[in-house]
Every structure is written in C-alpha cells, then in structure tokens.
Amino acid sequence: MRFIIVSPIIVTILNAKFCTHAFQSNAKNESNREHDIRKKMTASERMITMSALITSRPGDVVKVDYGGMHPFERENLEIDPNGSRKLFTDGDYKPIRIFFDTSKMIQIVIEKLESSGTGDVETITVLNGFIDKIIPQAASLWSSAIRVIPVTGSLIIKKESESQQYSTCPIGDGHKHSEEGVENADLVIYVEPDSSYCDEGGAANRPFAYPCELDQYDRPIAGILNLCTAWVTKNRNGFNRDGAISDSQTKLAVNAVIHEIGHVLGMNEELFKFFRNPITGDPLTPRPFVGTQVKCLTGPERLMVKPSCNTIEERVSAGKRHFEIVTPTVQAVVRNQFDCQVLKGAILENQGGDKSCFGTNWDQRYFHEEAMSSVYQTTPLILSPITLALLEDSGWYRADYSVASTLPFGHGAGCDFVNERCIVDGGKVPSYSKGFFCNRQLKNTDLNTISSVYGCDAGHTHKAFCNLIDYNDTRFAKFSSPPPTEFQYFSNPSWGSYLTQTDFCPVALEKKSYLCSDNASAPLFRSKYEHYGDGSKCFNRYSNITMNSVCFSSRCIEEENVLEVYVGNETYICSSDNQLIKLPGEDFSFECPRMEIACPQFFCPGNCAGRGVCSSTSKQRQCDCFDPNDDTKGCTKTQIKESETCGDLNPSATSRWTIFSSSILCSGIIMAYLSA
C-alpha cells in the first residue's frame, strides 16, 4: 500500500517515553521495551515501525558470501596510480535473482480447499493466478533491469545476532532459510497474506512492502510484501477462470507488485541513509549515524537520521517545499529528462501526509505514470531511467537502461515545466505544460456517465479525459477537500485535479480511456479514418466547431527524424512539435504531438543513462558522454560517476544524538511513519 497513516501523537509519545533514556539501557532491554509498545500499536503502525527498524548488519553475524568477488571487499580493490580511487569493472554484476516465499499464501489456498471439499473455486483460481502469473511477471521486469554481484551458494536469512534482533523478517528459530538458506537467490521477499494490517482496512489495503534484512554492505537481501487476499480477489474479472492474466485489475496487480519490489530494492526513505559510493563502497551518510531534529514535509519536527547532503536536499520550487534526490546519476538523468541542465535533483512526493518525512516515491506532479511515483493505475507503469539511476546511486546495483522506457510526461519540456505553475492566468495551459496538463472540466456522475470530450494522454497512447473537477459539485463528493491556496490554479478556487498527488494539476484520466494500439479496446463508433491497432497513436483533432481526439496509425522514421501518420490512403509527415496538418477536402486538422513524446528514441536513449548530457545543439538531440571515448548512443560504455562528499555532520550536545550501528535503540520508534 502507498499511504499508511500513523498518528503524530503516537510518534511524540514514543519519542518522549523511550528516546530520553535511550543510553541508560542496553540493546536487549531496548528491544523488550519496543516489543511492549508495539503491542499497543495498530497493525499498520507496527509494520511501519518494523520497516524503520532496519539496521546495518552486526559484526557478529556471518557475512553474505559473494565468493570474494564483491568490489567493496577492500582486499580485492585496486588503487589507481595516484592512490585516490578504487577501480573495478561491472563485468561480474549479474541479473538479480528474486525469490518469493509464497508458502503462507499457498497455505490459504489449501485451507480453502479443505474447508469445503472444493473451496471457493474463483478465489483459489485468482490466488493461484497471483502466485503463478502476477508475481513472476513483476519480478521478471526487475531481474532484466537490475544487476548485482551474485550471492555464492545459498542466501542465509538471519533473524538475530548475539546482541540484538536486527532482522525483522518473518522467520522463526530453526527456519529453513536461516539454517540452509535459499538457493539461486540474491533477494528473498516473504509474502505475508491477511495479517492484522488487512483487518483494519480490508480490500482497500493495497500491498505494502519494506526491506527486513541487509547484507554487510547494506544492500537489502530480504523484504516483506504484505498482501491482503481481499484486495487481490475484490475484482475477479481481472482473471479468467483458468488463472490466465487478462486486463484492468490484473494490470493493477502487476503494477502494484512492481512498485512494491522497488521499495524493497532501494526506493525507500528508510534506505536512503544506507546508500554508498558506487565506486568506493564508502557510506554516503557517515557512520555511526547521527540523529538530528528534522522539519519533515508535514507534522512536527522529528528526531531522526537525515541522509547526507550528497543524497537528499531540501528545496522550494513553484512555491512548494520538497526534498530531492541529488545523487550524481539521478541528477544527470533528471536534467536530460526535462532538458534542464541546471536542476539539482529529482523531486520526491510532498503529498505523503504525516507518515512520511522526505517522501518515499517520485513526485506525481513531475513523474506521472512512473513505476515509483505515488499512484499506480491500470495502465502500464513506466520503469524509467530515473528509478534505475537511483538504484545505481545506492551503490548496490548496476542497471540495464535498454530495459527502461523514457517517461513521456515532461520529456524535453524545459526548466519552466519544473519550476513554474502547471496552469497560469486563471486557467490557461502555458506552452511548457501543453500536452502534459489540461484545462477541460470533467462532467460526469461518479466517473461512470461521462459527458466530456476526449483529448490525448501525455504519451499519446490513449484517448482520455482531463481529470479536472469542481470540488463543490456534489457528484464528486467522494473526493477530498478543494485545493489549498498554493495549489489553486483556476479562477474558480474549487477547481482542480481529483488526483491530489499531482499537486491538483489536471492530467489525462486513465478511466474510460481507449488505447489506440489495441483494436479490442476500440469504441463501437469511430471517427472517420480512425485506426486502432499496432503503431496507432492519439492525435488532437480540431474542427471549426470542436476539439476532440482520434487514433491514427503512425511510424517513427529515425533516418529522417520525422513521424509518418497514415490517414486513410494518405501519408502525412510530422516534422515539428504541435504542427497542424489540414486534411484536404475535410473540415478538420490534426495536431502533431511533441516529437520527444511521439518518438523518444530520437532523443538521447535512456536519458544517456545518467552518464552524459543530452545536447540540444541539433534537431535530434544526442548524448554527449562524460567519457569522451564512449561512442555509444546512450553512453553505455561510460562508468558511473562517483558520489561527492559534503558538509560536517558531527553531532552537537544539544540537538543531536548518535544511533550506534550495533544497537537499534529507539530509532525504529521515532521513525514510525514510513510511507510504502
């Protein structure tokens, strides 16, 4: 699940009760105290606390065996002639092997079968489909995109050291995984179905995942995926009776698991402080950790560990306060993504509520439909270079940017797209927002009876509606309060997107949309010349009376840097952004999309993998790699950049306290706010 709310009062009480005397008790007593307080928490609060309890691997626990091949093992590192850098190659990194322990989920299926002889056939079919189809499909994406130094032999998951319980993984004494380990695995994810967490919210509780154990270099080697079977089965039309994957709800399930795996891998505000220099293996945030008073996005100040300034920085843009990831590969990718070479970093979600301090997802306002943005939908999410860059900058992974897809939203839109307001002058769409944000009001009843007209989504893959609503309209009563002052863009202050995570900026709506490349999703009545199927894109259509959208077959011609559009028996050429083409003998024109959206392969593939600058000196925009000897289109031969060091983080006697790496102390309690 994305959003779990923990009362700030609980956090304050826990801070007061335990942190004041943190150094007066040994690690064992602190663990007992934490156990007592957890019993008084709700299930959601307990799980958030457990995720925040993740700590470095104690020295008395056996290290994960990498066969002597891990580049961070000092005895294997070479020193360059000036003695300042450790050198190694990426050749020993292999696709990550993710093992899902679904034994508890399988047990539910068995119990349902035994309870009535045949059990609930549809529920069993859906659960089997989730185990056999959804999980493997999500895991396969990550395995193709991310590489690690592979574990040698079996991966042992340990629960405790001699001095403390440092792992929160759901395995007991004598468990097979702590004795024999898991073969052919670099990451183990335990699927925990129908915990007390589910009882609090039922089917509304979407999956919620977090890491539960780290290796000696702080890479997550185990995690927990909390899964409510009621959520899996609430819309059984997502599966055929034979368990085969079908459409909308299945896409939502795949998107959910992809997203949650990302939180275990590294896209997690509790893991940012563990990031390491990808070249040297040195921690980016100095050890032992130092706690300080932090003014979070919402709520009171918190006493916690803030990642170093070479990882996260606080900024204000377009009048809104947020935190940004400023690691070097992320910085290079985000600059290339938006064609703005002065950006400092990638913005984290600032609409997370009281449970999140820095943000644990990409901000939906800037990274709409990215796999690790704050809202997943039934349309396929995009695993983009920005997420791969963050995982690389953690120091634990190498990425294959050919697996990533360029995020259409905001691609090449320029600095104003990031720094200025999405809608201006009481309701106008400025040039930098054109194609990404919209201003056509949605008129409907509960999103079922829609009377608005179609436009195009940001990627020009769907005919879709603008999700701009009037919050004072009683038909939209199920949505939250009207936009706050800082998010009011229209002359009518009650107007705004119902998707609050976009900072109330209206965007194309996924509901009731038509996928142009899918003939099966085509409406019964089509416009003249419309074509649904492979290669079709959405084009805005203008006549003397209305503006609507149509699906036309098209093809990117890389040799000429143009988009060919096929209308009836004629071929038309899109050679520039927003070009209007009038059809002879017809009363309408169609508008060409931004070329960087329609044909992103023309423009710096993979955002130059964060290893170069996307140069705008030519029409096609090409990568200028940091390594001048790299002649690849996407800078794939250039080595990842080394992270920089930054300011003094020594504690002061009055405002800071040290969290010793050998003890959990009260760190988990004061950080019981993690957003999934």
Q: Where are the domains of the chain?
A: 8-62+94-265+666-670, 294-412+603-625
Query: At 665, is the pLDDT very low, low, confident or very high (cuts 50, 70, 90)?
Result: very low
Residues with Cβ within 8 Å of 355's Cβ and at least 6 positions away in sequence, in order, are 3, 4, 5, 6, 48, 673, 674, 675
Per-residue pLDDT, averaged over 122-137, amounts to 84
Match domain 294-412+603-625 to its CATH number in 3.90.132.10, 3.90.1150.170, 3.40.50.2000, 3.40.50.360. 3.90.132.10
What's the chain's average pLDDT?
80
Largest CA distance in the chain: 86
The helix/strand/coil state of 49 is helix
C-alpha torsion 181→183→187→191, nearest 10: -70
In the structure, what pLDDT confidence band is assigned to residue 454 with cuts at 50, 70 and 90?
confident
Residue burial 188-200, b: 16+ Cβ < 10 Å; e: rest: bbbbbbbbebbee
Q: Which residues pair with 541 in a beta bridge?
A: 548, 590
- Whether the domain at 8-62+94-265+666-670 and the domain at 294-412+603-625 fall into the same CATH topology: no
Reported CATH class of domain 8-62+94-265+666-670: alpha beta
pLDDT tens digits for 604-635?
A: 999 999 999 999 765 578 999 999 999 999 99
Instruction: Tokens 């493997």: give the residue.
Output: 136
pLDDT band at 475 (very low <50, low <70, confident <90, very high): confident
Confidence of residue 653 (pLDDT cuts 50, 70, 90): very low
Average pLDDT over residues 359-388: 89
The residue that leads in pLDDT, 570 or 601, is: 570
Quick one: DSSP state of residue 348?
B
- Residue 431 neighbours by CB under 8 Å, 6+ apart: none
Paired residues of 543 in beta bridges:
588
* Distant-in-sequence, close-in-space partners of 595: CB < 8 Å, separation ≥ 6: 561, 563, 574, 576, 577, 602, 603
Q: What average pLDDT does this structure show over 443-452?
A: 54
Cα–Cα distance between 257 and 604 in angstroms, integer? Answer: 29
**Tokens of residue 581, six digits:** 């083409």
- pLDDT at residue 272 tops 60: yes
- Tens-place pLDDT, residues 177-234: 988 999 999 999 999 888 776 766 544 577 889 999 999 999 999 999 988 877 777 6
pLDDT at 204: 59
The pTM of this model reads 0.86
Check residue 85 and give its pLDDT. 46
Cα 185–Cα 266–Cα 395 angle in degrees, nearest 5: 85
Q: Minimal CA–CA distance to 329: which of 644, 646, 72, 91? A: 644
pLDDT higher at 676 or 382? 382
Q: How large is the average pLDDT for residues 272-286?
A: 94
- How many whole angstroms separate alpha carbon 61 and alpha carbon 390? 28
pLDDT over 80 at 594, yes or no: yes
Q: How confident is the model at residue 478 (pLDDT cuts 50, 70, 90)?
A: confident
Query: Lowest-confidence range among 12-26, 155-169, 377-391, 645-659?
Result: 12-26
Residue 160, SS3?
A: coil
